[in-house]
Every structure is written in structure tokens, then in C-alpha cells.
Amino acid sequence: MPLPADRPLPLRLRRVLDTAPEATALTFEDRAFPWAYLRRGVDDLDRLLAAAGAPDAHRIGIVLRNRPGPLAALVATVATGREVVVLSPFHGDVALAEDIAALAPQVVVADVEDWDRDGVADAVARIAAVPVEAGEGQRPLTPRQADWTPAPVPAERGDVAVLMQTSGTTGRPKRVELTYAKLTAAFEASGTPVSSAEVRLRAHPSIVWTSLVHIGGLYFVLANVAAGLRTALLERFDVHQWADLVRRTRPRRIRLAPAALRMVLQSDLPDDLFDGVESVSSGTAPLPPEDAERFTERFGVPVLSVYGATEFAGAIVGWDLPLHRAWGKTKRGSVGRPFRGVTVRVIDRATGEPLPADAVGILEASGAQLPGDSWVRTTDLASVDEDGFLYIHGRVDDAINRGGFTIVPTVIEDALRAHPAVRDASAVGMPDERLGEVPVVAVTMRHGELRPDAEQLRTWLAQRLARYHLPTEIKIVDELPRTPSMKVSRPDVQALFEPARHTSA
């Protein structure tokens, strides 16, 4: 199928796939898959749609498990200039079927485990989509037997590369359109070649464990292919499986979300695990500087924070090694400087006027990879210092209004994480009859002899915070509920508490 000339990303992916077909492109568990495996995925997609009488079908729904078959389907869809409709394997059976019916992709790709789930085939039959099975055999994509005749509903073809879902940390995931132009700009801004005709396969691998339904997984799988990097794929994050992969593959750079970084930091892994690793990149959620410093002190590897969002097609601000060597000690807690082609500013919440250096307000950003043609307003509270370094102070929509006092949850969470027995914490607002909202907090504890109870933790907070910051309830839990990208799910934290109990004295 011909590719639009104005889409350099599909051309780049196909060029890389054709460079050295027998070289290893992907590893999963104990198997290696060559670049030819991904190239066959491209051929399979075109061939299967032609055989189904739908060669022009371009909206491809993929149940994106971190497995070779769905990954090959993702690469094939983008390499042929089509649109990926992200479907989450983490949804329950009913929710997955509802997503398929509501989004109505023209093709649905899933592995056998998801095809066998209740309601999935029925939902695909209702929209008369072409069914495709993803697997790990010689052919990554094969036809799925169907009791219906595929007749995909015609859809207008645009520039959308991925119909993505957000992480859903503050509510039900929303859908975001990432265009080919925005993805290309995001890759180019971070140094991944897209427009270049030169292809050079890299010897060192890139470990991907973040779910492909999250921008942090999908982005790096596509970026790895564009850069000629081998992907070492994990289905989910497990500290010891991940560490074994680090030992075997010896990557130069690794990525750890804050929750995963703390799990590594609190593990019994040897201090020489990261020999040869140049840096650790951390994003998707705020990383307390204390955690970054403890990690570097123990393992000898600098931690480079990045800031981005699904709507931005990836990161827009971050650190690199030269910047960290020059400014790391003096810009503690910053998420770095804007990437090439990105501009940020902070505005007053009430007036919308730009604020001076170091003032805290709402973050806005502009650039080629962001939506629209002007400033994009985020939901983050931030400040930018006189040297252009960005600091994130929490989210506007996470703020708790306690009788007129605004509480940013990270203030409570950071104070609790400073306790030697606390592993992690999540503060949320709950309804209150008199004050409107009051804070409550769920806490997980480290393994060890020190085991304070809720009242002792409250005393700890009372010595460090203003009175209105003190939570009305502290609940000690085994684990904080998280999204597939390992961000804390605030709606699920709220569900741990009984609203009727939170009435002010």
C-alpha cells in the first residue's frame, strides 16, 4: 500500500526493518526475534486486509499486551501509515468489549488469550471488523476464524497515528489523538532520527517494561525501531526479572518510573548491577529528589528526570548527562530544561498572566509536538527559575480545598516519605459536610523492625506540617493501587476510604 510522502515516520520504520533482516530486533523471555519478524508483520497486515476485501482499512484496534505479536502489530500499523486504536488488556471483559464497540476500529488484533475473553468476539462481530490474531510464530499476524463476514465501516483517513488513552490516574482514561506530525516532532526533539535516510543499527539494547497501552511503553517501542535499537521486552515489571535482564543485556541507559525506582532501591540487588549503565531516566510521575540521590549514592548512576504527558506525545522537558553534570547539584528537584523546539511558561491561576521566575502557577507549553498552534495549558502547578529549569509542585486538579485552605497532596506525601519506615504514600481529598473536603492518606511501609502505627505517623506529620494539612485518616496498606504505568490511581485510593467517616469536628 502506498505511503503518503508527507509522513516520514512510516518510511523510517520500514527503512530500518529492511536494513539487516536477520539481526536481532526483539527479545522476549528466552526468545530472540529478528528484524524480519517485524517486517513480516508489515506484510501480514497488508496481505490479511487484502484477503478480507478491505485493503483500505486503516483504523487498527490492537489489544496491546507486552508480547511480540501485539508489538509487531503496533509497528506494522505505524509503518504502513495507518491508525493505531489502543485497546487495553487491563480492562475487565465487559469494559474491553464496550471499548471495541464504542471505538469501532475496522480491524481488531489480539492474541488468543484476549480473543477467548467473554464478549470480545461478539463486540468485534457487531462492528463487522476484520479479526486478526497476534502470535509469536513465523508469521506474527494470522487470520482469526470468524462467524461473521467482515465489512468494516468506512472511515475518513486523517493524520492520526495513535488514538491513545491517558493513564487514568485521576479518573476514567480519556482518548487522545497523536498525529504523525506530533509523534515525529517528539522523536526528533529527543534526538531520535526520523527524517534521516541513514540507518545504523545499535548494538546496545533498550529494556521496555512499561505497558504498551501507556505512552511510556508505546513511545519507546516506536522510538527504538526508528533508532535501530534492539528492544528487550518484559510483560510486566518484576524487580528480579528486570535485574536479570539488565545483567544479560547490559544496556547503556535504562528507564525506571518512580515507583519502580523505589522498588529497586529497596531491594537486595547488588550495588554493581548497573556497571556500564550511563544513566537512569525517570518520568510518568514526580520523583522526590531524596530518592534520586539515594539511588545515585548506592548504585553510582545519575538519575535524569523527565516531564511529559500523553497529550504531548511523550516528554517535553528533561535532563541529559551534560546538563546534569553542569547543573545537577544546584538545581535539586528540577525536572530539567525544555527540549529543542519546546517553550514553557507559568501563568497566574486567576488572571492568566505570565508570572516571573520562581513564582508558582499553572504550567503552559508550546511546540511542534504539542496539540494546537499556541500555548497549551496543563493541570500542573509549576515554577521556572531564571536559568530556565522547570519545577513541578503538584496538580491543580489534585489540590484539596479544606475550608478555603488549598492543600497540594505532594506536601503530605513528601513529609511521609521522609519517615524512615514509610515506603510510599498517596494523599487524596474526601467529601466533608462542613469543610467541603479533607485530606486522607494511604501509606505503605518498608520491611523492617520499625513499624509505626497511624497515630505515630500523624504525630510525625504534626511536627512538620501546618495543622490544616494533617489528614483526618491514615490507612496503612500492603500496596497502593496503581495504573498499568505504575502511577498511583487516586480514584482507587479514594475507594479505600469510607466517605461517611470524614466529617470535621
Helix 68-79 vs helix 8-17: angle between axes, to the nearest 10 degrees?
130
pLDDT, mean of residues 69-88: 97
pLDDT category, 454, cuts 50, 70, 90?
Answer: very high
pLDDT category, 314, cuts 50, 70, 90?
Answer: confident
Strands 130-134 and 376-384, by their bridges, are unpaired
pLDDT in tens, 26-46: 999 999 999 999 999 999 999
- Nearest-angstrom CA–CA distance, 92 and 391: 37
Q: Are 403 and 388 in contact (CB under 8 A)?
A: no
- Nearest-angstrom CA–CA distance, 351 and 331: 29
N- to C-terminal Cα distance for the chain?
69
pLDDT category, 1, cuts 50, 70, 90?
Answer: very low
Q: Are 130 and 57 in contact (CB under 8 A)?
A: yes
Q: Can you give the pLDDT at residue 505?
A: 45
Element at 334 (helix H, strand E) = none
- Indicate where the chain has its CATH 3.30.300.30 domain(s): 399-501
At residue 190, does pLDDT exceed 80? yes
- Nearest-angstrom CA–CA distance, 138 and 33: 10
Domain 399-501 - what CATH class?
alpha beta
Q: Which of 14, 32, 15, 31 is nearest to 23 (CA)?
A: 32
Q: Can you give the pLDDT at residue 4?
A: 52
- Nearest-angstrom CA–CA distance, 162 and 178: 5
pLDDT category, 284, cuts 50, 70, 90?
Answer: confident
pLDDT category, 203, cuts 50, 70, 90?
Answer: confident
pLDDT, mean of residues 363-385: 90
What are the b/e assignments for 248-277, b being 16+ CB within 10 Å?
A: eeebebbbbbbbbbbbbbeeebeeebbeeb
DSSP string, 106-151: SEEEE-HHHHTSTTHHHHHHHTTPEEEEE-SSSSSEEEPP-SS---
Listed in sequence order, the residues at least 6 apart from 270 whose beta carbon sits closer than 8 Å to its beta carbon are none
- Indicate where the chain has its CATH 3.40.50.980 domain(s): 8-189
Q: Can you give the pLDDT at residue 172?
A: 54
Sign of CA dihedral 285, 286, 291, 295: positive
Give 3-state DSSP helix, strand, coil % of the chain, rounded to 5.
30, 25, 40
Q: Can you give the pLDDT at residue 360?
A: 92
Distance of CA 297 to the CA centre of its chain: 27
128 to each of 7, 95, 153, 186, 350, how far by Cα in Å? 29, 19, 8, 35, 50
pLDDT, mean of residues 469-489: 90
At residue 433, does pLDDT exceed 90? no
232 to each of 90, 236, 263, 313, how far by Cα in Å? 21, 12, 20, 22
473, β-bridge pairs: 440
The CATH-assigned architecture of domain 8-189 is 3-Layer(aba) Sandwich (3.40)
pLDDT in tens, 2-17: 445 458 999 999 999 9
pLDDT category, 486, cuts 50, 70, 90?
Answer: confident
Q: Which of 166, 161, 264, 164 is nearest to 207 (CA)?
A: 264
- Nearest-angstrom CA–CA distance, 209 and 231: 10
Q: Can you give the pLDDT at residue 98?
A: 92
